[in-house]
């Protein structure tokens, strides 16, 4: 088989519902790499939140922040921070409405509240503590992603007020906020531009709503795989559907695709 470029989402794809990487997945990725395939991550997580999985799987290439910050073999090749003037407007609007905001650069995550039940619930789902309280973070660093804790029924108002931004629901209480023209698909396109791979050489694996763009993009020429635990909208975007993550769906798909035995 010709050498392939493999992108893996983390939560619900590499990580099972217990936030662990199944042994079958580790073995499949190790075999795929030994067979000459390039392995990378495509995630909504920040670079500092990739350390554990990167070390566990020995991966130093990734599309992070849903495409806003891209690294190839340890070197940053693309970054698209949210413009400061847009962040200022978002901060003002959220403060007026009383909605918490979490800001992320490539090194740290902060919150506009010292404690909030909704922020705590979302962090608990990631097995992550409450972020550091800091009202000035967005003024002092390049922010690549924000988390806006807006009720679903109020989201249309923000969509209308901020056409420069995309709001992607990732948790019951929270949206990922990034530049409107950036996605995992955008990040993968930047990645490909800096390598010898083509879209036809690419395979992507995901399960979430923020994976739809990359699944649709790669399905045009390459292979995109949706996990069995994906919502129907995600499955419709993929060229292949595999079993649930808790049923070793990822390793089974990789074997079917001939990436490993």
Question: CA-CA distance, 10 to 179, in Å (whole number)?
Answer: 21
Q: What are the catalytic residues?
A: 9
Measure the CA angle with vertex 73, ends 56 and 47; round to 5°: 60
CA angle 140, 142, 148 (to 5 degrees): 95
Half-sphere exposure (CA, 13 Å, Cβ side) for 17?
9
Question: Residue 9 in 3-state DSSP?
Answer: coil
**Angle, vertex CA 254, rays to CA 250 and CA 259, nearest 5:** 150
How many whole angstroms separate alpha carbon 165 and alpha carbon 41?
A: 23
Half-sphere exposure of 96 (CA within 13 A, CB side): 7
**Residues 207, 184 contacting (CB under 8 angstroms):** no
- C-alpha span between 84 and 90 (Å, rounded): 10
| Residues forming beta bridges with residue 207, ordered by sequence position | none
95 Cβ neighbours under 8 A, 6+ residues apart: 112
Which uninterrupted H or E stretch holds 111? strand 109-111
Distance CA 188, CA 62 (A): 9
């Amino acid at each position: 088989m010709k050498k392939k470029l493999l992108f893996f989402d983390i939560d619900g794809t590499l990580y099972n519902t217990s936030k662990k990487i199944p042994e079958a997945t580790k073995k499949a990725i190790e075999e795929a790499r030994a067979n000459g395939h390039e392995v990378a991550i495509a995630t909504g997580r920040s670079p500092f939140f990739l350390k554990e999985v990167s070390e566990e799987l020995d991966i130093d290439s990734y599309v992070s922040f849903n495409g806003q910050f891209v690294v190839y073999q340890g070197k940053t090749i693309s970054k698209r921070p949210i413009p400061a003037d847009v962040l200022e407007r978002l901060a003002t609007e959220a403060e007026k409405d009383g909605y918490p905001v979490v800001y992320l650069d490539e090194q740290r995550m902060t919150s506009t509240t010292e404690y909030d039940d909704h922020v705590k619930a979302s962090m608990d789902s990631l097995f992550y503590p409450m972020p550091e309280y800091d009202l000035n973070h967005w003024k002092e660093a390049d922010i690549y992603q924000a988390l806006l804790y807006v009720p679903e029924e109020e989201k249309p108002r923000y969509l209308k007020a901020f056409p420069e931004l995309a709001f992607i629901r990732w948790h019951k209480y929270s949206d990922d906020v990034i530049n409107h023209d950036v996605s995992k698909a955008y990040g993968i396109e930047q990645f490909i531009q800096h390598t010898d791979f083509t879209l036809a050489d690419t395979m992507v694996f995901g399960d979430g709503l923020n994976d739809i763009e990359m699944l649709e993009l790669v399905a045009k020429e390459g292979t995109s795989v949706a996990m069995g635990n994906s919502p129907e909208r995600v499955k419709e975007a993929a060229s292949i559907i595999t079993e649930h993550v808790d049923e070793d769906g990822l390793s089974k798909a990789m074997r079917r695709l001939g990436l490993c035995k």
